Structures are given as C-alpha cells and as structure tokens.
Chain A
C-alpha cells in the first residue's frame, strides 16, 4: 500500500521525499487539530469530585 503510494508520487527522488514529508506533516496536523480532539470526547476523564 505504502509502496504503491510512493510510486504515485511524481518527479525525481528529492521531490518525492519532499512531497512525502509534506503529506505526513499534513496528516499529523489534521490528527492533532481535529481528529484527536474529536476522539477524546468519547473518552471519559476520571472523575475528580466527591459526591
């Protein structure tokens, strides 16, 4: 799968590496900015109050 994605990247090796880095960075940013905050709403933090 990743090998096929790598082959889809155009251009010489240095451009492919650059593109790969940009794509990975974009995916990480999307995870941190949107996906993880959304997932965390399903995870209950431990209760801290007495009741």
Chain B
C-alpha cells in the first residue's frame, strides 16, 4: 500500500514538472509566436485602413511643389494632424531590422493591461511626448520578452537602420542612431531632447524603451533615432520599405 502511494506521488511530481516545462515552452516560445502574429496581422490591417482613410491631398498650396529637391537630412516640415485617443491605436511601426515582415500598431499610452500586453496592440506611445514628425521626441515602449515581444531585437539595431512610422498623414522615416542603458527612473530619456530636458528641441527624435536585461526589469534599454524624411500618405509607402514587403509577400 505504501509503495502504491509513493508511486502515485512520484507520478504526480513528474506530471507537475512536465506541466511547468510545458508552461515555460508556451510562455517563452509558442505564445510569442501566436501573439506576435496576431499583433502583426492587426498592424497590417490597421496600416491599410490608415492608407484608405488618408486625406486626399494634404494641401493644394504647398510652396515647394511635388518636384522639390531631395533633402534627406533636412525634412521639409512633416505634417502631423493625428489626435490620439487613450488606449487606441493611431499609428503603425515597421522596423526591417526586427524582421522583413515586422509590423506593429502604436497606441496612445503605456498601460500594460490595456496596450503592451494585448494581442491586437503591443507598442505604446508615452502620453505627453511628441507625435510622429513633430519637433521633439516621439517616445515608445514595448516588451522585449513575452507578450509577442515587439521590441525583442531592440539590442540588434545598428547605426543607420530605418524605423518607419505611419499615421493617417503619411510615412515618417527615422534613422536609428544609438542605444543606451539606463535605470528605470531616468525619465529624461523621453524628454524632447533626450537626456537634456533643459534644452529646447530643434530636432525630431524617436525613442524606443524596453527592459534590460532580457526577462528582467532591473534596467531599461533605450534606442534613439532621428527623423530622416517624411512623405504624405498620398505618396504611399516609402519605396525602400515597399521593396522589402514585395519580397515577403
């Protein structure tokens, strides 16, 4: 009788161990694939709806006209008319370094339950920071591990990598500059001029924040970029990004 009890107990322990391993496999691998795909599909759908809802022609009296010279270092005043509503998506983000078919929605706010942990969203915009294309800092947050891990590969970004942001107004192309590792309390990283809150901004930055090291909340990893160019929605997706998408389709 005692042997039977010990045998059953042993089997229960083994079962518990297997369940824990299965859960880890689900949490760290399977669920990221499932949620990641959901986030991407939702973003692509949203991206299409953004293009559809785009204003016909941003303005008919643009001073420079359509055939102005290419000036990639000095973007000509990007238009920004979006008025984000809390916890709702207002933009999409494409980062080829995160995968040729990478796409995520950007929602207003950085709430874990309402945005960052959701299979249809994933990336949040810090309320109070600037909007895409505005002078100042367009600051975003997302998970680096679990919940579809939108910023899983933030540490792999390399100088010159493109970060594309799409709103109903058009496409904003940012260029990645550098990474930084800070303590969680360093809110200066999302200041209009990152790490220099006392300076008035004259450039258009993008800042991505996530956790560091991976699976830990001890520090934050920060990725900075600057706006390189802008094009209205009527011109469609930036050619470079469109070419990438052709390849994945």
Contacts and interface: CB of A to CB of B under 8 A. Distances in A.
Contact of B110 (A32, A36, A45, A49): A49
B26 interface: yes
B54 interface: no
B190 A50 contact: yes
B27 A43 contact: yes
A5 to B, nearest CB: 10
A13 interface: no
A46 B185 CA distance: 14
A36 B182 CA distance: 33
Contacts of B19: 31
B143 to A, nearest CB: 6
Nearest to B117: A45
A43 B147 CA distance: 12
Contacts of A32: 26, 30
Interface residue tally on B, bucketed by range: 35 or more
B139 to A, nearest CB: 9
A40 B27 contact: yes
B145 A45 contact: yes
A1 B9 CA distance: 9
A51 B187 CA distance: 6
Contact of B112 (A2, A31, A36, A45): A45
A45 B26 contact: no
A48 interface: yes
B151 interface: yes
A37 B27 CA distance: 9
A47 B210 CA distance: 8
Given A1-B11, A31-B19, A47 B217 contact: yes
A48 B11 contact: no
A47 B185 contact: no
